[in-house]
Structure 1
Amino acid sequence: MRMRNKPWAIDYLNQHSEIVVTEVDDLQQDVWQQFIRSNDIKHIEVGSGMGRFITTLAKQNPYIQYISVELDKNVMVRVLDKVLEQNLDNIRLICLPIEEIHDYLAINPLDQLYLNFSDPWPKNRHEKRRLTHHNYLSIYEKFLKDDALIQFKTDNRKLFEYSLISMSQYGYQFVDINLHVHDREPDDNIRTEYEEKFSSKGSRIYMLKAKLNE
């Protein structure tokens, strides 16, 4: 996701360090350690975009703790705004690569992972950057519970097909495969901003749910 650069973004995010972290060392703060170590049910979204999906979940499920991971500081500002506007206290934001924080998350493994409309990185030489590449699947395994669920949505058919193969080869078993989410839309489906955009242009939305140890 590309947005206009906001020179003030990091300062704004750091003003709310109880909610969002922008440096790995910040995860050592007491408030963050308490959140990570608590025994509450925890879900995580990697690549949260502008935050409609994860903040809607947090509002609907106050008994679940949510972690939003988004690399782009300019985009994370939008997520933080939604958290503050809705006064959500069961969500924390991380503006860092998942590769740098998985050890902290593994302190208390998480129950579910969401991947929504990830960058497809269509060129073969960029395969390792896809969030369903086996390198990333091995990272997720480090901080997810043994029976954790991964939910993946995309409008990109080639990425969806790639993800089915990659996850199957890694050992995941599919709980659900939906080749046209909006044809018979599940009641619990939350449309992201990009999902609305792609769907309005006629794109088909694909979704899968999978577990490593079914």
Structure 2
Amino acid sequence: MRHRKIKGAREMLLAHEDYAVAEDEAIGKDWDEFFGAQRPLHVELGTGRGKFITGMASNCPDVNFIGIELKEEVLLRAVKRARDKQLHNVAFIAGNGARLMEYFKAGSLERIYINFCDPWPKNRHSKRRLVHRGFLEMYKEILTQKGEIHFKTDNEKLFEFALNEFSDSGFRLRNISLDLHSSGFEGNVTTEYEERFAALGMKIYRCEAYL
């Protein structure tokens, strides 16, 4: 999906200091202090326009949510959603998910969401996939002892790859769905991509990996 460049997007984004955190300011940040409350911490990688994470924050007021997104003009939309909903348990990092260990302390995340990430279909690019074992080992460092990863994709081959990587990296699996929207699974919060793919009749694959 192409996104229109917005002049001054970074400045506009960071003006919302109650929601947006610059990448360098996120390093070593005390998130309990930022939110003003000690709650379980859930993170979404590649949060986009924030439909999913603001929906989760609305549904789960006793959890703190952080969305990470590189594209600042996209993140502006997410901040606007959170502000319009008057949410106080969600924030956004304008940064790179590959730097998670700099943003969060070891054992501090209860859950990580990976929704419709780039499948990097060529084998030589497999290490770039967010569900590659290299990333999974990093996630294990910052997840709690019973931490979880919730993964959704429209790409069957990526899903098969993810299941193998999770298993080989010591994660257990549950709630595996090969057609989420026909599975009867309750409590699903959709992303914008998910709604678009489902409207085209495409299957959505989902699983939960846990330690």
> 1:45–1:67: 8 Å Cα contact kept in structure 2?
yes
**Quick check: 50-59 or 96-105, which moved more?**
96-105
**Quick check: 104-113 or 80-89, which moved more?**
104-113
The residue number in structure 2 matching 1:137 is 136
Q: Secondary structure, in 3 states, of the residue corresponding to 1:137?
A: helix
Deviation string 1:146-199 (CA, Å, 9 cap, x unpaired) is 111111000000110110111111111102211110112322011111001001
- Check 1:33–1:189 CA distance in 2 against 1; reply closer, same or farther (3 A cut): closer
Deviation string 1:80-116 (CA, Å, 9 cap, x unpaired) is 1101111111011011112324233116611111111
Give the alignment's Cα RMSD to 1 decimal: 1.9
**Quick check: 165-174 or 21-30, which moved more?**
21-30
Total equivalences in the alignment: 211
The residue number in structure 2 matching 1:156 is 155
> 2:112–2:148: 8 Å Cα contact kept in structure 1?
yes
The residue number in structure 1 matching 2:53 is 54
Task: For 1:185 and 1:75, locate their aligned partners in 2 and report how far apart those are by CA, in whole Å.
Answer: 31
Task: For 2:171 and 2:29, locate their aligned partners in 1 and report how far apart those are by CA, in whole Å.
Answer: 35
Task: For 2:165 and 2:183, locate their aligned partners in 1 and report how far apart those are by CA, in whole Å.
Answer: 26
> 1:134–1:170: 8 Å Cα contact kept in structure 2?
yes
Task: For 1:131 and 1:203, locate their aligned partners in 2 and report how far apart those are by CA, in whole Å.
Answer: 22
- Check 1:2–1:140 CA distance in 2 against 1; reply closer, same or farther (3 A cut): farther
Deviation string 1:15-59 (CA, Å, 9 cap, x unpaired) is 0123211231355677x5613795311111111121111001101
The equivalences for 1:174-193 within 5 A come to 174-193=173-192
> 2:43–2:65: 8 Å Cα contact kept in structure 1?
yes
TM-score by length of 1: 0.91
Q: Secondary structure, in 3 states, of the residue corresponding to 1:203?
A: coil
Tell me which amino acid in the other structure corresponds to 2:52.
Answer: F
The residue number in structure 2 matching 1:9 is 9
**Quick check: 155-164 or 136-145, which moved more?**
136-145
Q: Secondary structure, in 3 states, of the residue corresponding to 1:182?
A: helix
The residue number in structure 2 matching 1:18 is 18
The equivalences for 1:62-211 within 5 A come to 62-106=61-105, 109-211=108-210
Q: Unpaired segments of 5 or more residues in structure 2?
A: none
- Check 1:209–1:108 CA distance in 2 against 1; reply closer, same or farther (3 A cut): closer
Task: For 1:97 and 1:163, locate their aligned partners in 2 and report how far apart those are by CA, in whole Å.
Answer: 21
Task: For 2:146 and 2:28, locate their aligned partners in 1 and report how far apart those are by CA, in whole Å.
Answer: 27
- Check 1:80–1:119 CA distance in 2 against 1; reply closer, same or farther (3 A cut): same
Task: For 2:26 and 2:166, locate their aligned partners in 1 and report how far apart those are by CA, in whole Å.
Answer: 32
- Check 1:80–1:52 CA distance in 2 against 1; reply closer, same or farther (3 A cut): same
Task: For 2:158 and 2:9, locate their aligned partners in 1 and report how far apart those are by CA, in whole Å.
Answer: 31
TM-score by length of 2: 0.92
Task: For 2:28 and 2:147, locate their aligned partners in 1 and report how far apart those are by CA, in whole Å.
Answer: 25
- Identical-residue share of aligned pairs (%): 37
Q: Secondary structure, in 3 states, of the residue corresponding to 1:17?
A: coil
Q: Secondary structure, in 3 states, of the residue corresponding to 2:182?
A: coil
> 1:27–1:33: 8 Å Cα contact kept in structure 2?
no
**Quick check: 98-107 or 61-70, which moved more?**
98-107
Q: Unpaired segments of 5 or more residues in structure 1?
A: none
Task: For 1:95 and 1:163, locate their aligned partners in 2 and report how far apart those are by CA, in whole Å.
Answer: 26
Offset at 1:142?
Answer: 1.8
